[in-house]
Amino acid sequence: MQETGCPPATSKSNLRFETVNFARIPAQSKLFLQYQSDPLSLRKYYPNVVASHLEISSRASEVLNAYTIDRAVLCEILEDQNLRFKAGSKTFENIARLQRDDTVAVLTGQQAGLLTGPLYTIYKALSAMKMANCLSERGQNAVPVFWAATEDHDFDEIARTVMLDSTGDPTTIEIASDPKLAGNSVGGIAVPKSFEAELSRLLDSLPDSEFKGSVAETLKSIWSPGAKIGTAFCSHIQKLFENYGLIVVDPLDPRLKKLASPIYSQAVRRSEETVAALVDRSKELKSDGFEPQVLVTPDYFPLFYHTDDGVRRSVRRKDDRTYRVTDTKIEFSNDEISQIALAEPDRLSPGVMLRPVVQDYLFPTICYFGGGAEISYFAQNSEVYRILERPATTILHRQSYTIVEAKHARTLEKYELDFTDLFAGFESVLPGIVERFVNPSTSRLFADAEDDINLELNKLDQEISRIDPTLAANLAKRRPKIMHHISAVRNKFHRAQIERDEVVNRQLRTLFASLMPDGHLQERTLNVETFVLRYGPYFIDWIYDSIDLEERDHRLLYL
């Protein structure tokens, strides 16, 4: 019997798509591009790589045979957490399903960003939910799990998010940092009282819609002063996906730390071997023409240590027998840290190289959905899986979108722009728009003037060359400067013309603000509530329905 895939249900929403190969998008790593185009060629870095999502189910027996966690204990913790996050009934059905010995998990995760952070967080979750449903439909019990990286301590990275205001311009909202909490795990930091005014400012700036009231209620109730950022993030994720059965996990829970303590201890005991393998892997990647995603030095240690003041600090190898907690006088032997891992696991949290192994120790993970950077560092931490004798998890790229609303589609069409033209930036696109559509007559005068100047300079060059060749050389040196000044005036004309034409100026600036905010892909900047405000919960449904697990390109989704 031929195995069927899980095609997108685009007929439900009648959405239109275009694809853009990642090779055409700036700042993509060579390793990621090769993984997307020819994953099997990288098997030495990704031992369980697959050519298609249809092959994922073949890993089930290996995953289940390696899984040793008490499912009843794990699921009790997950029930408690997701009750606190006010998850929907389907989530608890999936937690019950996870207790079955034949159930696998499809994982993804992200840092606990403000108001859920950028759109790609949402695309990760939806990709995992689609894959779990796909596996279940084909006879393999599977549940989607979202690992909220609440242990991370980079507050500045998660403290702000961007939405589009009523004029179509980007507006940033952020949580003020508290210097006294620098270095603390972000999940345990409370939303400050000052954020209440910041949130009100944001809501006042947003356009009116039939969904604005419900969006405002969600944000105010979840991100209220005093709420822990980790809890708010997880609750917000569950609010968005309340009908999809997503299981959200907060790894700061001491009970999960206790479950993870054996893998912590094993990672400590084999840390020296692990670091040596990671250093060698980095060299191997470089020799193959790839750039390692994570810098691993010989003094690296795979776990962080949480000091009494709540700060999450890195640990560095001091010598063959001693490890030191950075910026402190705390030192341990390998045996002492191993004992801490077993007796006080809440003192520790995994670094980026160990985190996937910990996730897959706690869950029977059949695959993981990540972004380009995660795919790149999986090429390194496959060595951690090997040394800790764990089956390396298959990583798949999450679905990737740019949402193109109707007004922006019209702007692209009106000015004959391709989406990829926007990668050059507003200032680079501007001249062509002015010269072709706004003021072609003045633009022709500039072109004629440049032609005339070049013609006269050519004549002058011929004449003075006969008189004194050194004068011709001097002219050749000054000629670029002459043309530069003409070009500078031309550029000022372009900007002045756009500023005078308010309609064109607004169309172009809001186009860039929506599709390439701050010069980056939309999914890396804008927050999901930008579109929930406009389209309500249907937006989430449209994205889910459009997911094609075989699609490896970036997609433009036209609303």
**139 or 437, higher pLDDT:** 139
Buried b (16+ CB within 10 A) or exposed e, 468-488: eeeebeeeeeebeeeeeeeee
Contacts by residues 433-442 (CB-CB < 8 Å, ≥ 24 positions apart) = 433/498, 433/504, 433/508, 434/493, 434/494, 434/497, 434/498, 435/494, 437/504, 438/497, 438/498, 438/501, 438/504, 439/497, 442/493, 442/497
CA separation for the pair 520, 372 (Å, rounded): 14
Angle, vertex CA 367, rays to CA 365 and CA 373, nearest 5: 120
The pLDDT of residue 449? 64
Q: Which amino acid is at 418?
A: D
Over pLDDT 70: what percentage of the chain?
92
For residue 12, pLDDT over 90 is answered with no
The pLDDT of residue 316? 95
For residue 3, pLDDT over 50 is answered with no
Q: How is the beta sheet containing 247-249 ordered, strand by strand?
A: 247-249, 142-149, 104-111, 365-370, 394-397
Q: Region 501-525: what's the mean pLDDT?
A: 92
CA separation for the pair 426, 120 (Å, rounded): 23
pLDDT in tens, 477-510: 777 877 676 777 667 766 776 677 778 889 999 9
Contact 482, 453 (CB under 8 A): yes
- pTM of the predicted structure, to 2 decimals: 0.91
Q: Region 535-543: what's the mean pLDDT?
A: 95
Structure tokens given for 413 = 């069409």
Angle, vertex CA 339, rays to CA 334 and CA 343, nearest 5: 155
Buried b (16+ CB within 10 A) or exposed e, 174-184: ebeeeeebeeb
pLDDT in tens, 242-279: 999 999 999 999 999 999 999 999 999 999 999 999 99
Q: Region 427-448: what's the mean pLDDT?
A: 72
Q: Is 548 left (phi over 0), alpha (psi -120 to 50) or beta?
A: beta
User: At 247, is the secondary structure helix, strand, or coil?
Assistant: strand
The pLDDT of residue 458? 80
The pLDDT of residue 1? 31
For residue 475, pLDDT over 80 is answered with no
Q: Residue 401: beta bridge partners?
A: 555
Q: Torsions phi, psi of 4, nearest 5?
A: -100, 155
Q: Say how far residue 21 (Cα) sits from the centre of its chain.
A: 18
- 89-98, 353-362, 446-455: lowest mean pLDDT where? 446-455
Structure tokens given for 355 = 């985190």
